[in-house]
Structure 1
Amino acid sequence: MQIVIVNPQSSLVLFVVLFFFFVAPIPINGGVEDDGKRTYIVRVDRDAKPSIFPTHAHWYESAVLAADGSAAGEDGAAAAAVWPPGGPVIHTYSTIFRGFSARLSPAAAAALSSAPGVVSVVPELVRRPDTTRSPQFLGLLPSPPSAILADSDFGSDLVIGVLDTGISPSRRSFSDRGLSAAPARWRGACDSGPGFPAGSCNRKLVGARFFSAGYEATSGPINASAELRSPRDTDGHGTHTASIAAGRYVFPASALGYARGVAAGMAPKARLAAYKVCWDGGCFDSDILAAFDAAVGDGVDVVSLSVGGVVVPYYLDAIAVGAFAAAEAGVFVSASAGNGGPGELTVTNVAPGSPPSAPAPWTATSPPTSSSPTGASSPAIVVCDRGVSPRAAKGEVVRRAGAAGMVLANGAFDGEGLVADCHVLPAAAVGAAAGDALRRYIAASASAAATIRFRGTRLGVRPAPVVAAFSARGPNPQSPDVLKPDVVAPGLNILAAWPDGVGPAGIPADTRRTEFNILSGTSMACPHPRRHQVGPHDHRLHARQPQLHHARRVRRPPRRPFDFGAGHVDPLRAMDPGLVYDAAPADYVHFLCNLNYTRQNIRAITRRPADCAGARRAGHAANLNYPSFAANFVAAAGDRSMSTHFIRTATNVGAGPAVYRAAIRAPEGSTVTVEPRELAFRRPGQKLSFVLRVRAAAPAKNMEPGSSTVRSGALTWRDGRHSVNSPIVITLQAPLD
């Protein structure tokens, strides 16, 4: 075949379509209309409702009308005349906090923020959504040697709430065959609508709701020809992530014949509740908070949110606010870390109460190969640079041009990381080294030729796990004293359920249909670390912690904690952690105090006044009882060394008394000590504290001014049975002059 190489820069404008692997939040001022109004989320004091109003809803509407009239120099009645028939309030919130959302001008928002009983008025942000063999890769087998799934009846008493693009209920992954009735504590509902008739829910899919009021308040009515105003998934992302979390065992399962085998989610008998919050125009904070409010009120045990974050102060972050309130109510929250890698400071959803998961390749691939035979004469194979525009859409443009195939070649930024796609024509993806060789071959040959051969699915690829190139990296841009991401989980080339109305390439031109599809992203990693780290009777804020200090080490490159956090999820060890670092709501309040947030800022998150006196004595934000240690030193001229300390409290969750001894691997160029070096627990549930001190040598004199270097180590507590590991990360910044 003839080979043609194209310059991707000349065709970037052709690929402006939604592709959810690349999680890029819409600009923060998204949703501002010509009249200057935008949606604001308003939190109020729970007990401040004036007695003259029969309900909170009446109070909210009156407050909005008064603020709008005050800003416009009118009375409330005149202002009311410009509101739509539904009134000014979009959503009301009563479970995770008291409050509402409404469309306001900046002046009206300012007026409302000073009204009695109002705690905060925050502008809405808009976001985007970010293996079935992976349970086996993680050690979650349905029979010995791992009996985790069987011991928990495959998660049958667990309800997982998935906030995403909806769900396709007819898929075999969501069958309720053999399941008992939903847990008695479940209080959820099943909305009906276009494509989602009454009766779509069952004993597996126990709830389904959709939240579009925030989206429609900004973008106008939903386009019924493109989207469905119901829980039905018309995108595919939500169906895929839901089946990763709790899909039933399905055989045979494959994506157009690839990755053929048995499909299963992380907790095959767990119940699912789908909360549709993402639409073609994005995922709006007011809708996300309404879904959080409903999910906690419905009685979910877990919230999975594979939606891209926006790095703003925590009191402005709807996911951070929702996650804190959900955790206080006993609900575990897992959020994706983002797909902005491999650059540093790209991690999102960085609040310590909502641990983000980053993706790591597992051990199955579907690799084609491309070779260069002699004497070939047939239609062209086009070579495209991978670039930043959607990969499958590039293939569609190449197909329309009449080519027989495509090679998608990585550049230097993408490195050797490859992603499987269901292209609309025969295609192969190659790494940067092979791409460079291919470009040189084409440039040197007047009659370049190639053949694409497909080699099927390969299992047991090594090394694994490694961190995917696109996975967002730390450090934490909001609070570097908290290590992010927390853990990595399978997120590359994951086979999971897919809607029957969406082509596997995710583009309108793809008319193929498949029950399963292969996707990649932190969205796919997010549903993994949950079933094995929290159960319906273990709902404390520390529930995530066994997963953090019982993670497996990640390979290539070693000791890059801002790539992988504590390591790869290891459910077997997390089931019997030995020790946990329990973090209560008060610990998070102290953490916020030590970030120098105002009392009003903290109240916007915690719903109550904050007393920061004790927190100031604790020293600094790094003393949050978190299972990692992140020290950040900014050297001044003449410094020879720098030091800090961390206070931690460990809780014995073993079966009886235990004595743990400390083992330290100090980061290069540093001294680390722990006092005491032995923790002797007399009983289960006992708490003991220790202090870890770090002293680091000043940065080398030959470092560039203002540049930084990262060094890592670990603290491990061992009792002969358990090995409780916590990473130690030191960042050294050279003086600016």
Structure 2
Amino acid sequence: MVPRASVFGFGKGTAKGGSPRARVAAYKVCWPPVSGNECFDADILAAFDVAIQDGVDVLSVSLGGDPTAFFNDSVAIGSFHAIKHGIVVVCSAGNSGPADGTVSNIAPWQITVGASTMDREFRSVVVLGNNMHYKGQSLSSKVLPDKKFFPLLSAADAKLANASIQNATLCQAGALDPKKVTGKILVCLRGKNARVDKGQQAALAGAVGMILANDFLTGNEIIADAHLLPASHINYTDGLAVFAYINSTKNPMARIMPVTTLIGTKPAPFMAAFSSKGPNTITPEILKPDITAPGVSVIAAYTEAEGPTNEDFDKRRVQFNSVSGTSMSCPHVSGIVGLLKTRYPNWSPAAIKSAIMTSATTLDNANERILNASYIKAGPFSYGSGHIQPNLAMDPGLVYDLSTKDYLNFLCTLGYNDTLISAFSQDNYKCPGSINLANFNYPSITIPNLVGSITVTRTVKNVGTPGTYRAQVQKPVGISVKVKPKKLKFKKVGEEKTFIVSLKVKKGEAIKEYVYGQLVWSDHVHYVRSPIVVKAV
């Protein structure tokens, strides 16, 4: 427990880890760049080897690259060897969103984590000369004089003679004219260079403050950064309004109010625009990411070897910082895995993963469907099974379990030969004659190319009290779904039951794009939910 943790006094409270009594071992795998590379396969695999030898229980892996075949993926190979030793491996989904098919760390034995917001904001309100108020966010420790308005200038109108309008609009180095900027609040557009670098460039040009406006792709995702000057980051819609005010006013004015910490904001969570998305480009039959967790403006302990903006120009030092990325959502899940490992030391990595996935929610704190950063309904390719719910994961009722042999069989379905499989298993492994990837016992069901109909098999294990579970199905648009049997009765812990799910394209109703539904097994105490993702062809 660390009392009075904060970033420049904002978000003040007592900090603790997700597994407060856990011991942490850190393994360094990334080094100063060599030929543009920082994290080499040899270092990554060496770290997995040492961690396995050290007997860790959970590995939190906040790194990754472009999705690639598993036999070329050092994180996938290292993770496989870890799960063979009962170690749960949690990985970042990546920060390459919001484009589709960008998710990395897509092996089924990894828990892949997307990033979403929480119900806390570091609000900094922008007030225009026409008295319009726009709610932004910031962690700037500097404030402008109370209630004083300053001239407001679009960065596009502040360009140096030899600079492009695009570079000036983005507030890039060498693009702003100090003669035009000095003494004004500058409006910069998000994109290309770092958000905090835009503030630095504005300050170097003489601006008294900065308004950072989102572009279309980043939508409503506003991030609290420790800017070097008074600043506020506003969303895309509000940015349009600010630019419209500037363009329609002879002498535009504005002020930026001091930062305040707000709790209980709505809607929350919603998906971060940067969070990498599915579909899984290597094995589309496996839904990725698996889960989402808080990854925006997360207060965390921070190195004093560099400043809070992680830029060379920042000479400030802090013990805690606000950081965003799937590298922050990943350890949230790792902490919860630590608690699950403590409570259920004999559970397999797959059982723990299933408990986390099937207990997740797809609703926000307004009891509406989780949205993306553009406030459009998100789907399983954004959040996987949903937003993590730690307390419900502690009592999932049923789990979808998998063994090392199941994962090797999964590789067999991809056509891996003995040589390729040897990267994952030192023992000679002979692939079974016929395996259907659709029957892989994953806690979600994904059919990327459904022609006519298909029947898939799943097996659940009772890890709760005896009871009877009944199937509830929300059908994807244009797809019929039937579950047999519709009722599963469990008499003891550890008992397993198998069921089949039949999916069929409805002629004239199916659309040739991904559609979503869900299967829930419930005994009225537990709700074991699995996403259903289907694309008819």
> What's the TM-score, normalizing by structure 2?
0.84
Q: Distance in 2 between matches of 1:587 and 1:731?
A: 25
Does residue 1:683 correspond to 2:439, yes or no?
no
Does residue 1:568 correspond to 2:324, yes or no?
no
Local SS of the residue matching 1:613: coil
Distance 1:504 1:675, change over 3 A: same
The aligned counterpart of 1:253 is: 5
Which piece of structure 1 moves more, 326-335 or 433-442? 433-442
Does residue 1:467 correspond to 2:271, yes or no?
yes
Alpha-carbon deviations, 1:531-580, whole Å to 9, x = none? 43431523513221100001012422446111111011111111111111
Does residue 1:414 correspond to 2:218, yes or no?
yes
Q: Distance in 2 between matches of 1:606 and 1:336?
A: 24
Q: Distance in 2 between matches of 1:360 and 1:265?
A: 18
Amino acid at match of 2:456: F
Distance 1:585 1:324, change over 3 A: same
Distance 1:368 1:291, change over 3 A: same
Q: Distance in 2 between matches of 1:453 and 1:609?
A: 66
Distance 1:412 1:698, change over 3 A: farther
The aligned counterpart of 1:535 is: 341
Distance 1:698 1:631, change over 3 A: farther
Which piece of structure 1 moves more, 530-539 or 321-330? 530-539
> Aligned-pair distance for 1:429?
0.6
The aligned counterpart of 2:415 is: 596
Larger Rg: 1
The aligned counterpart of 1:371 is: 127
> Aligned-pair distance for 1:469?
1.4
Q: Distance in 1 between matches of 2:258 and 2:535?
A: 45
**Contact map agreement 1:328 1:541 (CA 8 A) in 2:** no
The aligned counterpart of 1:519 is: 323
**Contact map agreement 2:150 2:185 (CA 8 A) in 1:** no
**Contact map agreement 2:59 2:334 (CA 8 A) in 1:** no
Unaligned ranges ≥5, structure 1: 1-248, 636-641
Distance 1:287 1:414, change over 3 A: same
The aligned counterpart of 1:650 is: 460
Q: Distance in 2 between matches of 1:673 and 1:629?
A: 13
> What's the TM-score, normalizing by structure 1?
0.62
**Contact map agreement 2:103 2:288 (CA 8 A) in 1:** yes
Distance 1:268 1:730, change over 3 A: same
**Contact map agreement 1:323 1:353 (CA 8 A) in 2:** yes
Distance 1:561 1:698, change over 3 A: farther
The aligned counterpart of 1:582 is: 401
Amino acid at match of 2:349: L
RMSD, aligned CA: 1.8
**Contact map agreement 1:332 1:539 (CA 8 A) in 2:** no
Unaligned ranges ≥5, structure 2: 131-147, 152-182, 364-369
Q: Distance in 2 between matches of 1:520 and 1:574?
A: 24
Q: Distance in 2 between matches of 1:528 and 1:468?
A: 15
**Contact map agreement 2:359 2:528 (CA 8 A) in 1:** yes
The aligned counterpart of 1:97 is: none
The aligned counterpart of 2:171 is: none
Does residue 1:547 correspond to 2:356, yes or no?
yes
> Aligned-pair distance for 1:501?
2.4
> Aligned-pair distance for 1:430?
1.0
> Aligned-pair distance for 1:279?
2.3
Alpha-carbon deviations, 1:28-87, whole Å to 9, x = none? xxxxxxxxxxxxxxxxxxxxxxxxxxxxxxxxxxxxxxxxxxxxxxxxxxxxxxxxxxxx
**Contact map agreement 2:213 2:236 (CA 8 A) in 1:** yes
Q: Distance in 1 between matches of 2:475 and 2:497?
A: 23
The aligned counterpart of 2:440 is: 624
Local SS of the residue matching 1:273: coil
Name the % identity: 39
Distance 1:376 1:584, change over 3 A: closer
The aligned counterpart of 2:70 is: 314
Q: Distance in 2 between matches of 1:517 and 1:531?
A: 19
Q: Distance in 1 between matches of 2:283 and 2:213?
A: 37
**Contact map agreement 1:474 1:483 (CA 8 A) in 2:** yes
Map 1:189-228; keep pairs closer than 5 Å.
none
Q: Distance in 2 between matches of 1:376 and 1:567?
A: 44
Q: Distance in 2 between matches of 1:432 and 1:364?
A: 20
Distance 1:288 1:583, change over 3 A: same
Amino acid at match of 1:644: I
Amino acid at match of 1:524: M
Local SS of the residue matching 1:604: coil
> Aligned-pair distance for 1:478?
0.8
Distance 1:273 1:539, change over 3 A: farther
**Contact map agreement 2:450 2:534 (CA 8 A) in 1:** no
Q: Distance in 1 between matches of 2:291 and 2:248?
A: 45
Q: Distance in 1 between matches of 2:509 and 2:487?
A: 34
Alpha-carbon deviations, 1:17-37, whole Å to 9, x = none? xxxxxxxxxxxxxxxxxxxxx
Amino acid at match of 1:345: G
> Aligned-pair distance for 1:499?
1.5
Distance 1:438 1:600, change over 3 A: same
> Aligned-pair distance for 1:664?
1.2
Alpha-carbon deviations, 1:230-275, whole Å to 9, x = none? xxxxxxxxxxxxxxxxxxx211011011111121111111111011
> Aligned-pair distance for 1:404?
1.0
Distance 1:377 1:369, change over 3 A: closer
The aligned counterpart of 2:479 is: 670
Does residue 1:452 correspond to 2:224, yes or no?
no
Distance 1:448 1:649, change over 3 A: same
**Contact map agreement 1:578 1:653 (CA 8 A) in 2:** yes
Does residue 1:361 correspond to 2:117, yes or no?
yes
**Contact map agreement 1:340 1:470 (CA 8 A) in 2:** yes
Does residue 1:397 correspond to 2:201, yes or no?
yes
Does residue 1:486 correspond to 2:296, yes or no?
no
Q: Distance in 2 between matches of 1:728 and 1:346?
A: 20
Distance 1:488 1:591, change over 3 A: same
Q: Distance in 2 between matches of 1:362 and 1:262?
A: 17
Amino acid at match of 2:7: A
The aligned counterpart of 1:89 is: none
Local SS of the residue matching 2:238: helix
Q: 2:55 aligns with which of 255, 279, 299?
A: 299
> Aligned-pair distance for 1:634?
5.9
The aligned counterpart of 1:720 is: 524
**Contact map agreement 2:17 2:335 (CA 8 A) in 1:** no
Aligned pairs, how many? 470
Map 1:688-727; keep pairs closer than 5 Å.
688-697=497-506, 708-727=512-531
Q: Distance in 1 between matches of 2:398 and 2:97?
A: 32
Map 1:209-288; keep pairs closer than 5 Å.
249-281=1-33, 282-288=38-44
Alpha-carbon deviations, 1:474-526, whole Å to 9, x = none? 11111110111100001111001111222111111111111110011100000
**Contact map agreement 2:116 2:292 (CA 8 A) in 1:** yes
Q: Distance in 2 between matches of 1:402 and 1:732?
A: 57
Which piece of structure 1 moves more, 366-375 or 488-497? 366-375
> Aligned-pair distance for 1:658?
2.4
> Aligned-pair distance for 1:320?
0.6
Local SS of the residue matching 1:648: strand
Alpha-carbon deviations, 1:699-719, whole Å to 9, x = none? 769x7xxxx422111111112
The aligned counterpart of 2:157 is: none
Amino acid at match of 1:344: D
Distance 1:397 1:455, change over 3 A: closer
> Aligned-pair distance for 1:684?
1.2
Amino acid at match of 1:535: K
Q: Distance in 1 between matches of 2:420 and 2:381?
A: 28
Amino acid at match of 2:424: I
> Aligned-pair distance for 1:444?
2.5
